[in-house]
């Protein structure tokens, strides 16, 4: 969104309370959604649960095309549509709910820096593995991405998406990396997160913030998604405090809610955490 539009939206957002029927849109859970989209979607869902805001998850095959920025997930609240975690956090802040109000300037700077680290390393690595690794792309990504469509549209869309992602990787210099280097980068990123978390329950001690939601979204999805090999999950599993962090958030925000209703389960491919 342009800056003027953003300011306008947040003014309108501040005026209305959170409605009962807010909806979050993502691609089809069983057949279509891919690792990176699933991670982003889970991060947003976790953030909304941490704020205590109810939302219904709706799965549509064309979620990506409905989204205002072309990225999933996006939420439909009242008569506004907002996509991606960053703008959603700002939108919710305009409504008066925020998880990071208690942080001072230095801590907020750190939080933003770590969120960029996760986006830069983990999300890019996920995209790389899905679309630039030939084996994974052929076996998993292309069939899944194009499953709701019939021939020849499925081929066209899948190859178009792959080409787009490869162009982006080229622009940021990741196309020259080998798969081992990417796994190494993921490992370093997890090490940094693990060192920052230490023995605390959340990244900024007692209270969860959007950083916790983002990290949980990515790590949980990596741990529970079945890819062509388990190396990515193994890298994450080697950091025990990150594993217990994921368990803790799953238990606190998802298990209790699941006991009340059946919606919003984060288990996508393989069931629960190891």
Partner 1 sequence: MNNADRILRAYAKFSGAKLAVKSIDWTWRTITASVPQLHYEGSTVTEPAQILNFLRKQRFNADYELTAKQGADTMAYIALLEEKLRPALLHTFWVDAENYVNLTRPWFTSHSPFPLNFFVPGRQASLALSRILLTKAESPLLNITEVEGKIYSEAKECLNLLSHRLGNFHFFFGDTPTSLDAFVFGHIAPLIKAPLPSGQLQKHLNQLDNLCQFCNTILKNYFTDASAEKRMDCSLTAPHDPVDANLQKLTQLVNKESNLIEKMDDNLRSSPQHRHETKPSARASERNSPLLSKH
* 189 near partner 1, rule: CB under 8 A: yes
Mark 123-152 as b/e (b = at least 16 C-beta within 10 Å): bbbbbbbbbbbeebbeebbbebbbebbeee
CB nearer to partner 1: pick between 103 and 273: 103
Q: Is 253 exposed, middle or buried (0-12, 13-18, 19+ CB in 10 A)?
A: buried
- 174/181 Cα distance (integer angstroms): 10
Tokens of 108: 């907020």
Among 67, 65, 59, CA closest to 33 = 59
Give, in order, the Cα–Cα distances in Å from 183 to each of 6, 118, 134, 230.
Answer: 37, 14, 16, 11
Min. distance of Cβ 221 from partner 1 in angstroms? Answer: 20
**Mask of contacts with partner 1, 200-239, x by CB under 8 A?**
----------------------------------------
CB nearer to partner 1: pick between 91 and 253: 91
* 192 near partner 1, rule: CB under 8 A: yes
Query: Segment contacting partner 1 (CB under 8 A): 30-38, 114-122, 137-145, 217-225?
Result: 114-122
* 117 near partner 1, rule: CB under 8 A: yes
Give residues 43-72 in contact with partner 1 (rule: CB under 8 A): 68-71
Residue choice 62, 160, 188, 229 for contact with partner 1 (CB under 8 A): 188
Residue 234 has a CB neighbour count (10 Å cut-off) of 12
Point out which residues pair with 82 in neighbouring strands.
Answer: 75
Cα radius of gyration rounded to whole Å, the chain: 18
Residue choice 80, 191, 207, 241 for contact with partner 1 (CB under 8 A): 191
CB nearer to partner 1: pick between 177 and 257: 177
Residue choice 21, 155, 167, 251 for contact with partner 1 (CB under 8 A): 167
Query: Segment contacting partner 1 (CB under 8 A): 23-31, 106-114, 131-139, 263-271?
Result: 106-114
Q: Are 81 and 25 in contact (CB under 8 A)?
A: no
Q: Which residues bind partner 1 (CB under 8 A)?
A: 1-3, 68-71, 105-106, 108-110, 112-114, 116-117, 119-121, 167-168, 171-172, 188-189, 191-193, 195-196, 198
């Amino acid at each position: 969104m342009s800056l003027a539009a953003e300011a306008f939206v947040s003014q309108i957002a501040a005026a209305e309370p959170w409605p009962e029927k807010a909806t979050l849109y993502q691609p089809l859970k069983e057949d279509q959604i891919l690792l990176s989209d699933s991670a982003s979607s889970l991060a947003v869902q976790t953030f909304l649960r941490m704020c205590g805001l109810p939302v219904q998850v709706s799965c549509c095959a064309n979620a990506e095309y409905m989204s205002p920025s072309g990225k999933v997930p996006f939420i439909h609240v009242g008569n506004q549509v907002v996509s991606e975690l960053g703008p959603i956090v700002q939108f919710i802040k305009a409504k008066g709910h925020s998880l990071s109000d208690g942080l001072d300037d230095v801590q907020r700077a750190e939080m933003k820096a770590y969120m960029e680290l996760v986006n830069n390393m983990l999300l890019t690595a996920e995209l790389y593995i899905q679309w630039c690794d030939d084996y994974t792309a052929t076996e998993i990504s292309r069939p899944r991405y194009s499953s709701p469509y019939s021939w020849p549209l499925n081929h066209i869309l899948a190859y178009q998406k792959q080409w787009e992602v490869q162009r982006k990787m080229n622009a940021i210099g990741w196309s020259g990396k080998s798969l081992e280097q990417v796994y190494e980068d993921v490992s370093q990123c997890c090490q940094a997160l693990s060192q920052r978390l230490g023995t605390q329950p959340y990244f900024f001690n007692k209270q969860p913030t959007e950083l916790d939601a983002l990290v949980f979204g990515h790590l949980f999805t990596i741990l529970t998604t079945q890819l062509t090999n388990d190396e990515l999950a193994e890298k994450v599993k080697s950091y025990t405090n990150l594993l217990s962090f994921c368990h803790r958030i799953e238990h606190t925000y998802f298990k209790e809610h699941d006991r009340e209703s059946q919606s919003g389960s984060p288990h996508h491919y393989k069931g629960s955490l190891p």
